[in-house]
Amino acid sequence: MDNSPQAPQWESNRQSQRREPRENAVRDDVSQDALIGLGKSSIRKNYYADLQRSLTELQRFRDLLDRSNDGILLISFPELEILDCNQAAAYLLEKEDGCAGGCIVLTDVLEPHDIEGLEEFCIRSKDDDSYTWMVRFRRDTDSPVSAEITLRRVQYGDREFLVGTAHDITDRELLTQRLRNSLREKEVMLREIHHRVGNNYQLINSLLALELGFSSSGNVTGSDTGTADDSEATSASFGHRLVRNTIDRVQSMAAIHADLYRAENFDRIAMLPLTQALLHRVIAARVKSTKDIEVSVTGSPIELDMGRAVPVSLMLNELTTNSIEHVYRKQQRMTLNVRWETHEGNVQLKYSDDGPGLPPNLDIRNPGTLGLTLITNLAQQAHANLLYSSQQGAQFILTFSQRP
């Protein structure tokens, strides 16, 4: 019996057995791929590119947030746990490894007096409300950092959060403090200057009063004998009056200086109240009873800088003094009217009394009296145009621009 045909059958079976494991393995791989989604219709082939683009965009957005100079925080509400933040916020909170996971509670890094406003906001706020206030973040190894923080209450799905932005204002506060210190120093210097100016006015008045005392006793300056004829007596009387008027002017200048110094803003001095106070002070200093004197100060609320307010105030002082000397002394009564007006960017000061008026043929450029000469010079100092008339008493109109 020939058994030779059996060998090929055995060899064929052996080859088949060698092939079947590989085919079975391929079939198993295909089944496994289909099962876990990595086959021909898998996520990797259909969605991986889109997912990769989304992740890239998210990373780009995160990089942008981290490059922001302002801190950005995501805070749970109402727990107030800081869930996430960018690098700027991590620096403010002194957390170099970030704030992910709610490891920090916002109230733990704020000063106690900064928490009150936050608690009020949490109680009263509604969705999309915001709150901005100044805080100081407490730090473990460094000095506190000042920041301006804004919180906005938002809702994502069924959860509520606070989205915050924090701007570091530490440098701004340091600069502000330096400016405050500089301003305080200048205020001290200004008070010292004011004090010295006041002392100088007082010294001048004392010297003039001393001169006035000598002239009243007959010891006129320049006379060693103590005797004088009629012409000398007349000269002494004139000198006495001149010194007395000079003392009054110096006292008025000192009072005007004090009034202007008390102004809150040297560049914007309110002239209506200053004029009212000035006229009443001049009258009270020269008249025993003011019941027969009427004063009216009306008009627009004009504000002048110091360079204009000083000469204008001195002019009002001279005009009021002249009215007292030439109107009240003769009539024993007097009405003064002062009005401030504005016309096309210019300021007009109108002053009038109810006396006999100015001398006829008066040349204001060469008036011949000290009072009117001072008025003319002060008008030039204020860069103003001066008009005058004698209709129903002496009238003066001063016109100048509101700003130099």
Q: What is the dihedral of CA 64, 65, 70, 74, to 10 degrees?
A: 170
Cβ contacts of residue 372 below 8 Å, gap of 6+? Answer: 322, 362, 364
Distance CA 191, CA 210 (A): 28
Q: Which residue has the tokens 């005007």?
A: 256
* Inter-CA distances, 392 with 158, 318, 326, Å: 85, 20, 14
Do residues 338 and 390 lie in contact, with contact meaning Cβ atoms separated by under 8 Å?
Answer: no
CATH class of 265-404: alpha beta
Q: Each residue's pLDDT tens digit in the chain (404 positions)?
A: 454 444 444 344 444 445 455 555 545 554 444 444 444 455 555 566 777 777 777 778 777 777 888 888 888 898 888 888 888 888 888 776 666 555 788 888 888 888 888 888 888 888 778 888 888 888 777 778 889 999 999 988 888 999 999 999 988 888 999 999 998 888 888 778 877 877 777 788 787 777 777 666 555 444 444 444 555 556 556 666 777 777 777 877 787 777 777 776 777 888 888 888 888 888 888 888 778 888 899 988 888 888 888 888 888 988 988 888 888 888 888 889 999 998 877 889 999 988 888 877 777 777 777 778 888 888 888 888 888 888 788 889 999 886 66
Domains of the chain, residue spans = 6-46, 68-168, 177-262, 265-404
Q: What is the DSSP code (8-state) at residue 86?
A: -
Identical fold between 68-168 and 265-404: no
**68-168: in CATH 3.40.640.10:** no
Secondary structure (H, E, C), 307-373: HHHHHHHHHHHHHHHHHHHHHHHHHCCEEEEEEEEEECCEEEEEEEECCCCCCCCCCCCCCCCHHHH
Cβ contacts of residue 337 below 8 Å, gap of 6+? Answer: 296, 298, 350, 351, 352, 353
